[in-house]
Amino acid sequence: MELSRKLAEYSLGLAYEDLPKEVVEFTKLCILDYFGSAIAGSEKVPVQMISELAKEMGGSEQAHLVTGGQSSVLNAALVNGAASHVVELDDIHKGSIIHAATVVIPAALAVAEWKRLSGKELIAAVVAGYEVCYRIGEAVSPSHYYYWHNTATCGTFGAAIAAAKLLGLTVDQTIAALGNAGTQAAGLWEFIEDGAMTKQLHTGKAAMNGLLAALLAQKGFTGPQKILEGNRGFFKAMSEEYDISRVTEGLGSEFKIMENSFKIHASCRHTHHAVDLLIDIFNERQPKLEEIESVMVESYQVALNITDNDNPQTQYAAKFSLQFCSALALLKGSATLDDFSDSMLWDEEIRQLLKKVKVVTDPQINASYPKQWGAAVEVRFANGETVKKQTDFPKGDPENAVTAEELREKFLNMTNKYPEKQRHQLADDLLELEKFETVEKVMVTL
Amino acid sequence: MELSRKLAEYSLGLAYEDLPKEVVEFTKLCILDYFGSAIAGSEKVPVQMISELAKEMGGSEQAHLVTGGQSSVLNAALVNGAASHVVELDDIHKGSIIHAATVVIPAALAVAEWKRLSGKELIAAVVAGYEVCYRIGEAVSPSHYYYWHNTATCGTFGAAIAAAKLLGLTVDQTIAALGNAGTQAAGLWEFIEDGAMTKQLHTGKAAMNGLLAALLAQKGFTGPQKILEGNRGFFKAMSEEYDISRVTEGLGSEFKIMENSFKIHASCRHTHHAVDLLIDIFNERQPKLEEIESVMVESYQVALNITDNDNPQTQYAAKFSLQFCSALALLKGSATLDDFSDSMLWDEEIRQLLKKVKVVTDPQINASYPKQWGAAVEVRFANGETVKKQTDFPKGDPENAVTAEELREKFLNMTNKYPEKQRHQLADDLLELEKFETVEKVMVTL
């Protein structure tokens, strides 16, 4: 049977009632975390540009934009998908290297609001969307990730599945939606060289493209049946190596969403291992710049591919500079949203320490990737001391989990542009999402 | 200097006044031919689906849809880009394997109408759009074309450049537009296996995506500077082989649009060589089914990759079946829009002849591809006679050109849903486009 058919049958067959309680609870945390990122990102410059454009283009009032007002579901997916990725605090799945929330949830939410669907329906659609894109991402990881931004490319399938489920598509329509999601899949890493705003376009467009594929399928628009495994399909065209078995192995007997990692630091996930360890060292000794002789970070190759940058020129590029993030963590003891400011970007001490940070690949750490996103750090001090630390699981991984309380705290911090009462109310609502007969009622509290 | 900068500087520097008269005349034929395809395609099922969806989504009244009414420029690019490709009669460039009109012109036209720009400005933008996407396509051909639909992937850059020029972007903004066009470039050939409707989504989305990149760039949205040649850019990610020199060789001293081919038959261009030759044989002898023993078509490998299909199941798949098109041409003496009907698809005689058509690769013909899109046919008759014919240039290639009069005739046929007078008026207007102070005035005659 074609892979798309298996994924479609599984996804359409998945009912809220089939979900174990822990999956429901975890999924609500993912949705809560999505809202935190989307609200924190809504005023950022690239998001505002996309939002302004969407408003100029206009659209029927179908769903809320996190930037204010309502527009078509496609515009809502575009704007909200861009907003929820920009502060780099959205969730991530190690095995597939995908941030699913920022692509799957905006598409699902727009349809659920538009069609006045329930919290339970939204939760089940989000679980299916995560499942599908994580499986496709695992099949092509890590080779696909060298050129392609998995969140955007594989994420498109997840957005399509979540939308297909909420729109009540048939299996054949859902296969077409997957086909036309895959044929739109795009997003090259080239922008990282310039620290350009492109990453937000990727996630917004992936949410929009997946939704577009599902909306067209509902009208009978046909698509390729074997978009994944076909001779000119997604796997062969876009991945040097891939493992087809990963798409369906264990499908139905596990919930991939439970493998999700949450981000605590506001930088690229590939810097978190080192940031965790260097914050530990900061907490132990609060070193001053002149006391530090050198910092060595050993990690996996992909981390270096994406984050080896010893001279970031923008706040955004700083989030993707392992050297910058390491210097920041060791000198300031944190890597929060507020830390990635222009004054910190050009901070004299950070710039000096940054030059002393060496980043290299360690063969053993590399061999465990992407199962483990690990690192070792070695800090040499001027007094001759050396401190070494190593981690296999940055904070927020399932193996080194954050609590629901910590995630709620993170959410409240990220939404501090709202009054206290409103933030708490929104958190309460989202953590009781299954009780809402229409998701729309949560959206209007925005 | 980065390739994007060279292309941006060239394109923004190109003024209508710099264009030789023959380039202006030829470009107007391209625009005329685009309108013929768009109008003929406007009522086709996949186009209607995309149009309905665009209307449901809504949008500001900025530009006309060929399916009726007005919407945002992004919706206009999407719908008109889908409409102008569906009847498979739009123009094609051999060297880059791109149908430029269906991607570049809808994007350019939407902006020109919205911003009330002149016919001259539109013409210069179209010339630049063709130039850029043809050059990028030549650099990656033929290897890119195995997985990727060049018209969609490379076409996105052409739409972005034409829009950038009409929006009056700076060089840096145009570089960003090219970067974010390239990072959205998508369109896999996998749909061809099912004869799915995806091809229209490709061209519509390419027009829309290129325009989106330009509109965002105007707001200051940044993009990758080296989207083509960068380490994780378009060339390395999406093409097994590529020749960077093709992007700039002769840039400014020639006009690639003059290499354009026009299509006379309503099927995939990779069938036209054989169709031309078999129509000649039909004209010479009007053979009956029982008189034909076998048909052999020898061509280049890419033609077989795309069109080797001895059992097409849809009208659309029939246009992409070299066997079907060959049988049609030899039995009916034509391959017009009306020939690709359901009754012809299941015509008993065509189905019988189709089984007698053998398609193979000829090494010599293959070696000349993509400079020459040639074929040889050999028809064996029951009476023992054999007729052989060969061509290097199907009708409509610059080397085997159609006249302006023939293109006007083609346009009048393709727009026969309009009253006679209106069709002639539109043709007259389009062939005098440089006299219009606002393109908008032509659009309202639709």
Q: Which residues of A touch B202 (CB under 8 A)?
A: 183
What residues contact residue A213 under an 8 Å CB cut-off, 6+ apart? A156, A160, A163, A176, A177, A178, A179, A180, A181, A184, A223
| Residue B11 near residue B128, CB atoms below 8 Å | yes
B384 touches chain A (CB under 8 A): no
Q: Is B363 on the interface with A (CB under 8 A)?
A: no
- B20 CB contacts (<8 Å, ≥6 apart)? B255
Q: B232 contacts in A (CB within 8 Å)?
A: 146-147, 188-190, 192-193
């290297």: which residue's tokens?
A: A97
In a 13 Å sphere around the CA of A397, the CA atoms on its Cβ side amount to 20
User: Is B124 touching A (CB cutoff 8 A)?
Assistant: no
Of A210, A332, A195, A325, residue with least CA distance to A271: A325
So what's the pLDDT on residue A341?
Answer: 94
**pLDDT score for B446:** 65
Looking at the partner chain, which of A176, A188, A223 has a beta carbon nearest the beta carbon of B183?
Answer: A188
Q: Compute the count of residue pairs across chains A and B with CB atoms less than 8 Å apart.
A: 198
Asked whether A294 and A358 are in contact (CB, 8 A), the reply is yes
| Triad A127, A128, A131: Cα angle to 5° | 85
Nearest to B183 among A46, A198, A227 (CB): A198
Which chain A residue's Cα is nearest to B56?
Answer: A60
How many angstroms separate the CA atoms of A366 and A378, rounded?
Answer: 17
* ipTM metric: 0.93
Mind listing the pLDDT tens digit for each residue in B347-369?
999 999 999 999 999 999 999 99
Q: Which of A49, A53, A147 sits opposite B232 (nearest CB)?
A: A147
Q: Torsion over CA of B12, B16, B17 and B22, rounded to 10 degrees?
A: 130
CA closest to B236 among chain A residues: A147
pLDDT less than 50: residues of chain B? none
A54 and B CB contact within 8 Å: no
In order of their start, the domains of chain A are 3-264+408-443 (1.10.4100.10), 269-391 (3.30.1330.120)
Instruction: Find the closest chain B residue to A45 by CA distance.
Output: B221
Contact between B93 and B260 (Cβ < 8 Å): yes
Partner residue facing A147 (CB), from B74, B189, B237: B237
Closest CB from B188, B201, B233 relative to A190:
B233
What pLDDT does residue A244 have?
Answer: 98
How distant is the Cα of B114 from the closest Cα of chain A, in angstroms?
11
| Residues ≥6 apart with Cβ < 8 Å to B354 | B310, B311, B321, B323, B324, B326, B327
* Among candidate residues B337, B394, B319, B415, the one with its CA nearest the CA of residue B32: B415
A210 in contact with chain B, both atoms CB, cutoff 8 A: no
CA nearest neighbour of A445 among A425, A419, A420, A428? A425
* B376 close contact with A: CB closer than 8 A: no
Cα–Cα distance, A301 to B412 (Å, whole number): 60
CB < 8 Å to B224, chain A: 188, 190-191, 193-194, 196, 198
Determine, for residues B232 and A188 on separate chains, whether the beta-carbon distance falls below 8 Å. Answer: yes
| List of chain B residues whose C-beta atoms are within 8 Å of the C-beta of residue A50 | 216, 221
Q: Which residue of B has its CA nearest to A63?
A: B57
Task: Look at residue A444 in the predicted model and tell me its pLDDT.
Answer: 67
Contact B210, B179 (CB under 8 A): no
| Residues A374, A368 contacting (CB under 8 angstroms) | yes
Q: Is B221 on the interface with A (CB under 8 A)?
A: yes
Q: How far is B82 from chain A (nearest CA, A)?
A: 13
Q: Do B236 and A147 touch (CB under 8 A)?
A: yes
Contact partners, residue B87, CB within 8 Å, separation at least 6? B37, B40, B41, B44, B266, B337, B414
Task: Pick from B154, B191, B211 the residue to mutate for testing the A interface (most A CBs within 10 Å).
Answer: B191
Q: Please judge whether A179 and B201 are an interchain contact, meaning their C-beta atoms are less than 8 angstroms apart.
A: no
- Window 280-319 of A, Cβ < 8 Å to B: none
Do B232 and A57 lie within an 8 Å CB cutoff? no
Asked whether the beta carbons of A39 and A66 are under 8 A apart, the reply is yes
Query: Does any CB of chain A come closer than 8 Å to the CB of residue B198?
Result: yes
The interaxial angle of helices A119-140 and A150-167, nearest 10 deg, is 140
| CB of A246 less than 8 A from some CB of B | no
φ, ψ of residue A276 in degrees (nearest 5): -55, -50
**Selection from A211, A187, A162, A201 nearest residue A81 by Cα:** A201
List CB contacts (< 8 A) between A197 and chain B: 221-223
DSSP conformational letter for A393:
S
Which residue of A56, A57, A184 is in closest CB contact with B205? Answer: A184
Residues of chain B positioned with their CB less than 8 A from the CB of A236: 147
Is residue B204 within 8 angstroms of chain A, CB to CB?
no
Q: In chain A, which residue's Cα lies nearest the Cα of B306? A: A232
Residues of B in contact with A150 (CB under 8 A): none
**Short-list B214, B231, B145, CA closest to B179:** B214
Q: Please identify among residues 130-189 of chain A the ones whose CB lies closer than 8 Å to any CB of chain B.
A: 146-148, 176, 179-180, 182-189
Residue pLDDT tens, chain A, 446 long: 899 999 999 999 999 999 999 999 999 999 999 999 999 999 999 999 999 999 999 999 999 999 999 999 999 999 999 999 999 999 999 999 999 999 999 999 999 999 999 999 999 999 999 999 999 999 999 999 999 999 999 999 999 999 999 999 999 999 999 999 999 999 999 999 888 999 999 999 999 999 999 999 999 999 999 999 999 999 999 999 999 999 999 999 999 999 999 999 999 999 999 999 999 999 999 999 999 999 999 999 999 999 999 999 999 899 999 999 999 999 999 999 889 999 999 999 999 999 999 999 999 999 999 999 999 999 999 999 999 999 999 999 999 999 999 999 999 999 999 999 999 999 999 999 999 999 988 876 66
- Measure A230 CA to nearest chain B CA, in Å: 6
